[in-house]
Amino acid sequence: MACPPWPKGKKLVHLDLKGAPPRVEYLHKLIELFSQLGVNGLLVEYEDMFPYEGELKLLQSTAPPAYSREQILSMQECAKSKGMEVIPLVQTFGHMEFVFKHRPMWSLREVPYCVGTLNPHKEEGVKLVMEMLRQVVKMHPGLNTLHIGADEVYILGEGEESKLWLASPGRTVEQLFLSHVTKVAKAIKEAWPHMTIIMWDDMMRGMSPDILKASGLVGLVQPMLWDYTPNLDVDKTVSLLEKYCSAGMSDLWVASSFKGSTTVYTCVPSTQRHVDNHLQWLKVADSLSAGVNLQGIALTGWQRYDHLSVLCELMPVALPSLVSCLQTLSHGHFNAEAQNKATESLGISSVEVEEMEKTSASDSLFPGRRLAELIVELNALLNSDDMRLFDNDMFVRGWFSPYHRRRKMVTPLITMQIHSQASTFLTTLHQKADAMREEMVRFYPDSTVQEWIEEHVSPVMGPLQRITEEIRACVKEMVP
């Protein structure tokens, strides 16, 4: 059954810039497209792509180089010209891998082996996050809203100082979490009294309304409840939102996903999976009591699961998914009309990027379309059984096994056939990878392109190259 369209409130698109920061010209094209689709805000997660200064300069990425001050201001100007609010997301507790990977920052980790979690007992830790926030706020003139992260604060309570703190009667890890977030939120309000503060909700999901009320956090932050699954539990999610509301946190946000949440290494998203996630969110919105003041939804598009994991789907290949999810929210369902709107808005034949027919439609309808097509083609090739399981081919296993290779005792006729097949695969892979590389550098820095190739192409190409080299060496021993 169809739901009403998404209720009033912001529709934010999340730009996760860690690992695959789009070139600024491409960002401008994306912002233009987003505005045409009814998006009225960007949730921008800079991480190491922000041009931190002074003692924080070491946080800046060098490969790819962080955005310049001028580039960040131009992105904001472009968004504002389209009526879109820019909300920076700065992690202040968990997922601080991009900070704590640097040796001078190691002492601020909760435990030495967890790179992402801040030790909440060190005053230098609060000073660090406040300086990060100060620099980000300064570079966003007229900023009204900040997202302070605070999701997935792993291993909290395991550090020596936390264990000492928790040894006092009545103290819990929940209180430890809330005390740090409250301290940060109060410091933000002191520095910028007008600032609206958003935070991820997951660390508060098991907390009772009484614990939340007693924390001092009520009235300081607006929780953003995230769930990216296609089978999101509607009743459970509604009860969670109602719980926050009953604790006095009636201004609430939710977060869905249009890419980057299937598996840690997915290259090509399934549009239907993400549409299903949004259909569930529509049911949640339709079931909430009048007391819940839904501020909006953030459509997240993760580029990595965290700073140290591999790249997920790049933006161009996920645009059909994003457009479909936005149409689902606008229509309250994803029927033929919504699908037609999605395909028309990008000039494509199918909302599933793997099923798009090649057309000569203008690239302006779908910025990065050719790159999306090349990624889909190359991904299909790399995941084909012929490529991935070449070592399991009957002839390879039967006439060119590790036993044969070690002893260099082979049947030249068959091994040359194997060599021919492996060489053909290699040639095809090289051609496709070269075409994709040439296209990708138009949208992304060289380091992003290199990472994508090394992560996806090299593991398939390497074994094929080794086989061809080993065959040549073996045949040399057998043929005069």
Query: Catalytic residue positions?
Result: 152
- Specify which residues 436 forms β-bridges with: none
Q: CB count, 10 Å around CB of 64? A: 20
Q: Pick the closest to residue 162 from 93, 91, 96, 104 (CA basis).
A: 93
Structure tokens at 156: 């909290």
Structure tokens at 463: 């074994």
393, 467 contact by CB (below 8 A): no
133, 146 contact by CB (below 8 A): yes
Which long-range CB contacts under 8 A does 290-294 form with residues at least 24 apart? 291/242, 291/245, 291/250, 292/241, 292/242, 292/245, 292/250, 292/252, 293/250, 293/251, 293/252, 294/7, 294/9, 294/252, 294/253, 294/254
> Distances from the Cα of 339 to the Cαs of 83, 129, 136, 330, 344, in angstroms?
26, 43, 38, 12, 9
412, 479 contact by CB (below 8 A): yes
Which stretches of 83-231 are DSSP H helices? 97-100, 123-138, 160-166, 173-191, 209-214
350, 319 contact by CB (below 8 A): no
Helix axes 234-246, 271-287, angle to 10 degrees: 50
SS3 call for 155? coil
Longest CA–CA span in the chain (Å) reads 87
Q: CB count, 10 Å around CB of 139? A: 19
CA 365 to the chain's CA centroid: 23
Structure tokens at 90: 């700065």
Q: CB count, 10 Å around CB of 403? A: 8
Contacts of 101 (CB under 8 A, 6+ apart): 115, 307, 308
Structure tokens at 158: 């395991």
d(C-alpha 455, C-alpha 134), whole Å? 36
3-state helix, strand, coil in the chain (%, to 5): 55, 10, 35
Phi-psi region of 149 (alpha: psi -120 to 50; beta: other; left: phi over 0): left
